[in-house]
């Protein structure tokens, strides 16, 4: 699957032996000995940190990212670094300088991006847990495409210190695992105030797993209806003509299940949903063009051979180190921030961002959380969008709004699709590809999303399904 980029068995086994010793002494910590692998945009001392780019080939960080360190301090054992789209820019994991990741459910299909290596490794059982990062949907979309659970917390919940920056006002780390319960345990360890991150929220630690089995309403009439009193908002904009039939069938069936658990579905509107795409693809490239200016061939990262002067050093180092998608976004970002275009593009996009956030504020006056598809389709074939990058951008339409508003979003598996628009279950057809449903909550309501997902997973087994035995593939 090309999911891993760096393995250091001596490091992993040393951590495992230390965990065994603590367990034997009765000193086990919350996640003692549980293996985890990290997306390669989170820096690590013991493994290289490339961000999926030639620009950082063989780069070794002098420190661990805060979320990596916190998981280690909770007792987890690192397995290595996972492939990702270069600098987390992409929706398919085909933009990595080290080759595309293959979806374990269909090795000819994309796993989603940019955390595709993380999603594929968890889905295939190579690791029970992985870290991901989400800028515009890069935890939720690959989790959906690979049939696992992933959650993007509220912006500021998890420290960005040590996260190789793409778009600083959007980037957020989060956990990816098979179940909501596992994600809750991981998120509890990852989150917390970090003085090294100026955007970190100064909140007390929270145990997101504590209330998973509690009924939503304190006076629920029946234990068979634990979600009684929960209002689920269904945005008209998330169920339009652009959503494939197989995705709609699976998501509607999941909503029916939530209703049997006591939830009530209500219609809401998010009228600025379509504007989220152009707003995001102005704001994120603008921030990327600034963040990636540090890679100039001088301080660290790739340096071209035998430059003729300083300008040639900058030009050739960046041309050789960055891939096509990264260059595209840097160019877009530099353009929208340039004199004469800032007001027309960047400032206007920020105003749209506020409109998107206001839509959620109004919707949450009518409901407790919002549900809908993670993506309009199931995973598509590798190479299907390579000549049309806009097709990848459009696939983010349902994940971008929550990112722009800084809200928590969770993806959970709810069925399978064929990729041709017809819905079918686990027994039908060949090479089924998972369908994910997204739950979006008000700020700081991660526990609510995890509780709903956990209750759904108590009465369904989509999150327990395993991909078929892998066959060999030819990697181009």
HSE on the CB side for 33, CA within 13 Å?
11
Q: Of the residues 49, 53, 61, 114, which is catalytic? A: 114
Segment (H or E) for 415 = strand 409-417
* Residue linked to tokens 């990596």: 68
Per-residue model confidence (pLDDT) at position 364? 98
Annotated catalytic, 169?
A: no
Domain ranges in the chain are 4-277+347-464
Cα–Cα distance, 140 to 55 (Å, whole number) = 27
Q: Of the residues 39, 81, 152, 181, which is catalytic? A: 39
Segment (H or E) for 332 = helix 324-336
Low pLDDT (below 70) residues in the chain: 219-222, 419-430, 470-476
Per-residue model confidence (pLDDT) at position 429? 43
- Topology of domain 4-277+347-464, per CATH? Amidase signature (AS) enzymes (3.90.1300)
Annotated catalytic, 138?
A: yes
Q: Of the residues 91, 138, 209, 411, which is catalytic? A: 138
Cα–Cα distance, 427 to 425 (Å, whole number) = 6
Per-residue model confidence (pLDDT) at position 326? 97
Annotated catalytic, 381?
A: no
């Amino acid at each position: 699957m090309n999911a891993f980029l760096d393995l250091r068995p001596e490091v992993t086994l040393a951590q495992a032996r230390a965990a065994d010793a603590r367990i034997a002494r009765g000193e086990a910590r919350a996640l003692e000995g549980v293996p985890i692998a990290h997306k390669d945009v989170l820096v690590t001392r013991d493994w290289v940190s490339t961000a999926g780019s030639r620009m950082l080939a063989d780069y070794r960080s002098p420190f661990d990212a805060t979320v990596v360190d916190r998981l280690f301090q909770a007792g987890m054992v690192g397995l290595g670094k996972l492939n990702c789209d270069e600098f987390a820019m992409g929706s398919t994991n085909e933009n990595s300088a080290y080759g595309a990741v293959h979806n374990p459910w269909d090795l000819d299909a994309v796993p989603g991006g940019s955390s595709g290596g993380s999603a594929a490794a968890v889905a295939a059982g190579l690791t029970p847990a992985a870290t991901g990062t989400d800028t515009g949907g890069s935890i939720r979309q690959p989790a959906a495409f690979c049939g696992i659970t992933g959650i993007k917390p509220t912006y500021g919940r998890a420290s960005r210190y040590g996260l190789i920056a793409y778009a600083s006002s959007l980037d957020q780390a989060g956990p990816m695992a098979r179940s909501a319960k596992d994600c809750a345990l991981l998120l509890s360890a990852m989150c917390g105030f970090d003085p090294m991150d100026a955007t970190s929220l100064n909140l007390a630690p929270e145990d997101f797993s504590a209330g998973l089995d509690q009924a939503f309403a304190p006076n629920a009439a029946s234990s068979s209806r634990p979600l009684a009193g929960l209002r689920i908002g269904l945005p008209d904009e998330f169920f339009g003509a652009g959503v494939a039939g197989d995705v709609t069938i699976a998501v509607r069936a999941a909503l029916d299940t939530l209703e049997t658990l006591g939830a009530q579905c209500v219609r809401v509107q998010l009228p600025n949903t379509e504007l989220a795409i152009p707003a995001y693809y102005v704001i994120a490239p603008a921030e990327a063009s600034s963040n990636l200016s540090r890679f100039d061939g001088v301080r660290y990262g790739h340096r071209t051979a035998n430059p003729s002067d300083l300008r040639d050093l900058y030009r050739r180092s960046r041309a050789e180190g960055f891939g096509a998608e990264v260059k595209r976004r840097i160019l877009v970002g530099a353009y929208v921030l340039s004199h004469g275009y800032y007001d027309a593009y960047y400032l206007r996009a920020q105003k749209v961002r506020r409109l998107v956030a206001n839509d959620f504020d109004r919707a949450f006056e009518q409901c407790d959380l919002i549900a809908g598809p993670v993506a309009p389709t199931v995973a598509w074939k590798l190479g299907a969008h390579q000549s049309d990058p806009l097709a990848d951008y459009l696939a983010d339409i349902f994940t971008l709004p929550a990112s722009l508003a800084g809200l928590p979003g969770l993806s959970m598996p709810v069925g399978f699709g064929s990729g041709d628009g017809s819905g079918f279950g686990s027994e039908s057809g060949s090479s089924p590809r998972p369908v994910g449903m997204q739950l979006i909550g008000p700020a700081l309501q991660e526990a609510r999303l995890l509780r709903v997902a956990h209750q759904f997973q108590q009465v369904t087994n989509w999150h327990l399904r395993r991909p078929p035995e892998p066959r060999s593939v030819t990697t181009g």
